[in-house]
Amino acid sequence: MKKLALFFIALLLLGCQKELTNQQKKLQAKLPPDAEFSADGTLLAQGRVVHVADGDTLTVLASNQQEFKIRLQGIDSPERGQPFGKQCKQQLIGMAANQTASVEAYKQDKYGRVVAKVSVNGKDVGLEQLRAGCAWHYTAYAKEQSPSDRSAYATAEQQARASNIGLWQDPSPVAPWDYRHAK
């Protein structure tokens, strides 16, 4: 009986490992061939930021000249039609446009974008967007962040709110997920 239980546990673990490998392969297909896996299973890549779509989405040109659309992990910025949408896009442009970016890819979203933590000049651009009052900490996906990132992002949003920075100047800002749902 013990051997049978151990067999099923091993089978279950192998099944989980296969699933993780399939997720990694799917993600790897969305990034340049020279991207490497980190010890914690994230995919690491570098490229130049060639386009900023809004306050939480940018495009990176990899060394193989292929473009990759990146959704910043852990934040949600105002949409284009929302108050502060343009300002928050400009904030991200000022920080990242034409800069070399380090990309820590975690997954692919339902729109085919790579969800990643992006750093430019050693700074986490998602965290900087929060500090500038240009994003909400996307708590619906916070469990996908490391504990230290989750804490830093929550603190940055709280501090921006308390200081009435950026979108927090609005007496009743509408979260982007509520804005999208209302459309």
The CATH number of the domain holding residue 70 is 2.40.50.90
- Is residue 96 domain-resident? yes
Q: What's the chain's length in residues? A: 183
Q: Which of 26-30, 44-48, 103-107 has the lowest mean pLDDT?
A: 26-30
What is the residue range of 76's domain? 25-170
- Is residue 141 domain-resident? yes
- Is residue 146 domain-resident? yes
Q: Which of 58-62, 63-67, 163-167 has the lowest mean pLDDT?
A: 63-67
pLDDT the model gives residue 11: 28
Question: Does the pLDDT at position 10 exceed 50?
Answer: no
- Average pLDDT (92-97) is 98
pLDDT the model gives residue 23: 64
pLDDT the model gives residue 1: 43
- Is residue 14 domain-resident? no
pTM above 0.85, yes or no: no
For the chain, the average pLDDT equals: 85
- Is residue 131 domain-resident? yes
Total structural domains within the chain: 1
Answer yes or no: are the C-beta atoms of 49 and 70 closer than 8 Å. no
Q: In terms of pLDDT, which residue wins out, 36 or 142?
A: 142
Of 130, 76, 132, 69, which Cα lies nearest the Cα of 103? 69
Q: Which helix (H) or strand (E) holds 26?
A: helix 2-29
- Is residue 3 domain-resident? no
Which residues does the annotation mark as catalytic? 71, 79, 113
Q: Which helix (H) or strand (E) holds 65?
A: none
Answer yes or no: are the C-beta atoms of 108 and 115 closer than 8 Å. yes
- Is residue 177 domain-resident? no
- Is residue 1 domain-resident? no
18: how many CB neighbours lie within 10 A of its CB?
10
Please identify which residue in the block is written with the tokens 């990242």.
Answer: 96
Q: For the segment 12-43, what is each residue's pLDDT rounded down to a tens digit?
A: 333 444 454 566 666 667 667 777 777 667 77
